[in-house]
Homo-oligomer: A and B are copies of this chain.
Amino acid sequence: MDQWPQDISIDAFRRTWVLEGEPLWRRVFDTHREKMQIKNPQVAVGNLEKIFTCTFRLANSKGFQAMSLRDLSRETGISMGGLYAYIGSKDDLASAIEEVLRKTIDDVMSDQAVLDLGPLDRLKAIIYGDIYMNDIMHPWYYFCYLEAKGLSRDQREAAMQMEIKFDERLQETFVAGIAAGIFKADKVALLAANTTSMLQQWYLKRWKFQLLGTRIDEYAAFVYETTLHNLNYQDA
Protein backbone atom coordinates (compact mmCIF):
# COMPACT_ATOMS: atom_id res chain seq x y z
CA MET A 1 0.00 0.00 0.00
CA ASP A 2 2.98 2.30 0.59
CA GLN A 3 3.87 2.44 -3.04
CA TRP A 4 0.35 2.69 -4.30
CA PRO A 5 -0.71 4.64 -6.25
CA GLN A 6 2.44 6.71 -6.55
CA ASP A 7 4.12 3.88 -8.43
CA ILE A 8 1.44 2.72 -10.81
CA SER A 9 2.91 -0.42 -12.26
CA ILE A 10 1.54 -3.91 -12.34
CA ASP A 11 4.49 -5.08 -10.26
CA ALA A 12 3.68 -2.64 -7.50
CA PHE A 13 0.08 -3.77 -7.65
CA ARG A 14 1.17 -7.40 -7.42
CA ARG A 15 3.24 -6.65 -4.34
CA THR A 16 0.47 -4.73 -2.61
CA TRP A 17 -2.40 -7.11 -3.24
CA VAL A 18 -1.24 -10.67 -3.42
CA LEU A 19 -3.94 -12.12 -5.61
CA GLU A 20 -2.18 -15.23 -6.85
CA GLY A 21 -0.17 -18.21 -5.69
CA GLU A 22 -0.39 -19.79 -2.26
CA PRO A 23 -1.98 -16.81 -0.48
CA LEU A 24 -4.85 -16.86 -2.97
CA TRP A 25 -5.59 -20.56 -2.47
CA ARG A 26 -5.30 -20.12 1.25
CA ARG A 27 -8.04 -17.48 1.01
CA VAL A 28 -10.14 -19.82 -1.09
CA PHE A 29 -9.74 -22.43 1.62
CA ASP A 30 -10.69 -20.00 4.37
CA THR A 31 -13.75 -18.81 2.50
CA HIS A 32 -15.06 -22.32 1.97
CA ARG A 33 -13.78 -24.06 5.01
CA GLU A 34 -17.26 -25.11 6.20
CA LYS A 35 -18.49 -26.36 2.87
CA MET A 36 -15.85 -29.04 2.54
CA GLN A 37 -14.94 -32.17 4.43
CA ILE A 38 -11.19 -31.69 4.30
CA LYS A 39 -9.94 -30.04 7.43
CA ASN A 40 -6.17 -30.01 6.96
CA PRO A 41 -5.20 -26.77 5.19
CA GLN A 42 -1.86 -28.16 4.00
CA VAL A 43 -3.43 -30.85 1.90
CA ALA A 44 -6.54 -28.88 0.93
CA VAL A 45 -4.77 -25.85 -0.50
CA GLY A 46 -2.89 -27.83 -3.13
CA ASN A 47 -5.96 -29.68 -4.31
CA LEU A 48 -8.09 -26.54 -4.35
CA GLU A 49 -5.58 -24.94 -6.66
CA LYS A 50 -5.79 -27.93 -9.01
CA ILE A 51 -9.59 -28.00 -8.91
CA PHE A 52 -10.05 -24.29 -9.57
CA THR A 53 -7.40 -23.88 -12.25
CA CYS A 54 -8.59 -26.96 -14.11
CA THR A 55 -12.17 -25.76 -13.86
CA PHE A 56 -11.09 -22.50 -15.46
CA ARG A 57 -9.24 -24.28 -18.24
CA LEU A 58 -12.18 -26.55 -19.01
CA ALA A 59 -15.04 -24.10 -18.45
CA ASN A 60 -13.39 -21.23 -20.24
CA SER A 61 -12.86 -23.37 -23.30
CA LYS A 62 -16.01 -25.52 -23.58
CA GLY A 63 -18.29 -23.90 -21.01
CA PHE A 64 -19.04 -24.85 -17.44
CA GLN A 65 -22.24 -26.75 -18.18
CA ALA A 66 -20.53 -28.69 -20.94
CA MET A 67 -17.65 -29.61 -18.66
CA SER A 68 -18.38 -32.83 -16.78
CA LEU A 69 -17.01 -33.68 -13.39
CA ARG A 70 -15.39 -36.65 -15.08
CA ASP A 71 -13.45 -34.20 -17.24
CA LEU A 72 -12.48 -32.35 -14.11
CA SER A 73 -11.49 -35.56 -12.38
CA ARG A 74 -9.26 -36.60 -15.26
CA GLU A 75 -7.73 -33.15 -15.59
CA THR A 76 -6.98 -32.70 -11.89
CA GLY A 77 -5.96 -36.29 -11.28
CA ILE A 78 -8.40 -36.39 -8.37
CA SER A 79 -11.02 -39.12 -8.38
CA MET A 80 -14.75 -38.40 -8.57
CA GLY A 81 -15.19 -39.32 -4.93
CA GLY A 82 -12.21 -37.18 -4.04
CA LEU A 83 -13.67 -34.12 -5.70
CA TYR A 84 -16.76 -34.34 -3.56
CA ALA A 85 -14.65 -33.95 -0.47
CA TYR A 86 -13.93 -30.40 -1.69
CA ILE A 87 -17.19 -29.33 -3.26
CA GLY A 88 -20.75 -29.92 -2.25
CA SER A 89 -21.95 -30.13 -5.83
CA LYS A 90 -21.07 -28.92 -9.29
CA ASP A 91 -23.16 -25.78 -8.84
CA ASP A 92 -21.43 -25.19 -5.54
CA LEU A 93 -18.13 -24.99 -7.39
CA ALA A 94 -19.36 -22.23 -9.68
CA SER A 95 -20.84 -20.48 -6.71
CA ALA A 96 -17.52 -20.65 -4.85
CA ILE A 97 -15.71 -19.05 -7.77
CA GLU A 98 -18.12 -16.14 -7.88
CA GLU A 99 -17.94 -15.69 -4.13
CA VAL A 100 -14.16 -15.61 -3.93
CA LEU A 101 -13.88 -13.14 -6.79
CA ARG A 102 -16.54 -10.88 -5.37
CA LYS A 103 -14.96 -10.78 -1.94
CA THR A 104 -11.55 -10.09 -3.44
CA ILE A 105 -12.91 -7.24 -5.52
CA ASP A 106 -14.67 -5.89 -2.47
CA ASP A 107 -11.41 -5.86 -0.55
CA VAL A 108 -9.51 -4.01 -3.25
CA MET A 109 -12.35 -1.59 -3.92
CA SER A 110 -12.60 -0.47 -0.34
CA ASP A 111 -8.95 0.57 -0.23
CA GLN A 112 -9.01 3.76 1.78
CA ALA A 113 -5.78 5.06 0.24
CA VAL A 114 -7.51 5.37 -3.13
CA LEU A 115 -10.61 7.00 -1.71
CA ASP A 116 -8.55 9.82 -0.22
CA LEU A 117 -6.93 10.89 -3.48
CA GLY A 118 -7.87 13.87 -5.63
CA PRO A 119 -10.03 13.25 -8.71
CA LEU A 120 -7.18 12.84 -11.16
CA ASP A 121 -5.02 10.47 -9.12
CA ARG A 122 -8.07 8.64 -7.95
CA LEU A 123 -9.26 8.06 -11.51
CA LYS A 124 -5.85 6.80 -12.45
CA ALA A 125 -5.68 4.48 -9.46
CA ILE A 126 -9.14 3.04 -10.20
CA ILE A 127 -8.44 2.45 -13.88
CA TYR A 128 -4.94 1.05 -13.57
CA GLY A 129 -5.85 -0.98 -10.51
CA ASP A 130 -8.86 -2.52 -12.18
CA ILE A 131 -6.98 -3.50 -15.32
CA TYR A 132 -4.15 -5.04 -13.34
CA MET A 133 -6.63 -6.97 -11.30
CA ASN A 134 -8.50 -8.11 -14.42
CA ASP A 135 -5.21 -9.29 -15.79
CA ILE A 136 -4.03 -11.18 -12.75
CA MET A 137 -7.36 -12.81 -12.03
CA HIS A 138 -8.34 -13.09 -15.66
CA PRO A 139 -9.86 -16.59 -15.57
CA TRP A 140 -12.00 -15.67 -12.59
CA TYR A 141 -13.48 -12.61 -14.30
CA TYR A 142 -13.95 -14.38 -17.56
CA PHE A 143 -15.72 -17.27 -15.87
CA CYS A 144 -18.05 -15.03 -13.86
CA TYR A 145 -18.97 -12.92 -16.85
CA LEU A 146 -19.80 -15.79 -19.16
CA GLU A 147 -21.28 -18.22 -16.68
CA ALA A 148 -23.39 -15.69 -14.83
CA LYS A 149 -26.59 -17.26 -16.11
CA GLY A 150 -25.78 -20.50 -14.30
CA LEU A 151 -25.47 -18.81 -10.91
CA SER A 152 -28.21 -18.40 -8.36
CA ARG A 153 -30.50 -15.41 -8.50
CA ASP A 154 -28.80 -13.91 -5.45
CA GLN A 155 -25.38 -14.19 -6.97
CA ARG A 156 -26.43 -12.72 -10.29
CA GLU A 157 -27.98 -9.86 -8.39
CA ALA A 158 -24.80 -9.37 -6.37
CA ALA A 159 -22.67 -9.31 -9.52
CA MET A 160 -24.89 -6.66 -11.04
CA GLN A 161 -24.80 -4.61 -7.87
CA MET A 162 -21.02 -4.74 -7.96
CA GLU A 163 -20.91 -3.38 -11.47
CA ILE A 164 -23.35 -0.64 -10.53
CA LYS A 165 -21.18 0.24 -7.58
CA PHE A 166 -18.11 0.39 -9.78
CA ASP A 167 -19.89 2.69 -12.22
CA GLU A 168 -20.97 4.91 -9.36
CA ARG A 169 -17.45 5.09 -8.02
CA LEU A 170 -16.23 6.29 -11.40
CA GLN A 171 -19.13 8.70 -11.65
CA GLU A 172 -18.38 10.18 -8.25
CA THR A 173 -14.80 10.73 -9.32
CA PHE A 174 -16.00 12.44 -12.49
CA VAL A 175 -18.34 14.65 -10.49
CA ALA A 176 -15.61 15.52 -8.02
CA GLY A 177 -13.42 16.59 -10.92
CA ILE A 178 -16.23 18.65 -12.39
CA ALA A 179 -16.75 20.34 -9.02
CA ALA A 180 -13.02 21.02 -8.87
CA GLY A 181 -13.24 22.62 -12.30
CA ILE A 182 -10.82 20.25 -14.05
CA PHE A 183 -13.44 18.09 -15.82
CA LYS A 184 -16.40 19.08 -17.93
CA ALA A 185 -19.04 16.62 -19.08
CA ASP A 186 -22.77 16.09 -19.53
CA LYS A 187 -23.65 12.45 -19.54
CA VAL A 188 -21.55 11.24 -16.65
CA ALA A 189 -23.49 8.01 -16.18
CA LEU A 190 -22.98 6.92 -19.77
CA LEU A 191 -19.35 7.97 -19.66
CA ALA A 192 -18.80 5.90 -16.55
CA ALA A 193 -20.50 2.94 -18.20
CA ASN A 194 -18.19 3.36 -21.16
CA THR A 195 -15.07 3.38 -19.02
CA THR A 196 -16.28 0.27 -17.20
CA SER A 197 -16.85 -1.41 -20.53
CA MET A 198 -13.37 -0.48 -21.77
CA LEU A 199 -11.92 -2.05 -18.66
CA GLN A 200 -13.94 -5.24 -19.09
CA GLN A 201 -12.61 -5.55 -22.62
CA TRP A 202 -9.24 -6.42 -21.18
CA TYR A 203 -10.48 -9.80 -20.07
CA LEU A 204 -13.26 -10.26 -22.62
CA LYS A 205 -11.28 -9.56 -25.77
CA ARG A 206 -7.83 -10.98 -25.10
CA TRP A 207 -7.62 -12.31 -28.64
CA LYS A 208 -8.08 -8.84 -30.05
CA PHE A 209 -5.35 -7.25 -27.96
CA GLN A 210 -3.05 -10.13 -28.76
CA LEU A 211 -3.75 -9.59 -32.45
CA LEU A 212 -3.10 -5.86 -32.14
CA GLY A 213 -0.04 -6.44 -29.98
CA THR A 214 -1.41 -4.15 -27.27
CA ARG A 215 0.34 -4.57 -23.94
CA ILE A 216 -1.22 -4.02 -20.57
CA ASP A 217 0.36 -0.69 -19.66
CA GLU A 218 -0.36 0.65 -23.08
CA TYR A 219 -4.00 -0.28 -22.75
CA ALA A 220 -4.30 1.09 -19.23
CA ALA A 221 -2.87 4.37 -20.50
CA PHE A 222 -5.31 4.33 -23.40
CA VAL A 223 -8.32 3.87 -21.13
CA TYR A 224 -7.09 6.55 -18.78
CA GLU A 225 -6.41 9.07 -21.51
CA THR A 226 -9.59 8.34 -23.38
CA THR A 227 -11.60 8.81 -20.21
CA LEU A 228 -9.81 12.08 -19.48
CA HIS A 229 -10.45 13.20 -23.03
CA ASN A 230 -14.15 12.36 -22.66
CA LEU A 231 -14.12 14.52 -19.55
CA ASN A 232 -12.53 17.35 -21.50
CA TYR A 233 -9.59 17.49 -19.19
CA GLN A 234 -7.29 20.39 -20.12
CA ASP A 235 -9.44 21.15 -23.13
CA ALA A 236 -11.32 23.94 -21.42
Contacts and interface: CB of A to CB of B under 8 A. Distances in A.
A226 B230 contact: yes
B150 A66 contact: yes
Nearest to A149: B63
A160 to B, nearest CB: 7
A61 B226 CA distance: 34
Contacts of A226: 191, 194, 230
A201 B212 contact: no
Contacts of A190: 212, 214, 219, 222
A167 B63 CA distance: 26
Interface string A197-234: 11001000101100110100001001000100110000
A69 B71 CA distance: 23
Contacts of A230: 226, 229-230
Interface residues on A, range: 20 to 34
A153 to B, nearest CB: 11
Contacts of A189: 212
A230 B146 CA distance: 29
A193 interface: yes
Contact of A63 (B65, B205, B235): B65
Contact of A65 (B66, B208, B214): B66
Contacts of A222: 187, 190
Query: Which of A66, A189, A190, A219 has the most chain B CB within a 10 Å cutoff?
Result: A190
Interface in A139-189: 146, 149-150, 160, 163-164, 167, 187, 189
A163 B198 CA distance: 16
11 contacts: A187-B222, A193-B201, A193-B212, A194-B194, A194-B198, A194-B201, A194-B226, A197-B198, A229-B229, A230-B230, A235-B235
Given A63-B150, A190-B214, A193-B201, 7 more contacts: A63-B149, A66-B150, A164-B211, A191-B226, A194-B226, A197-B201, A229-B229
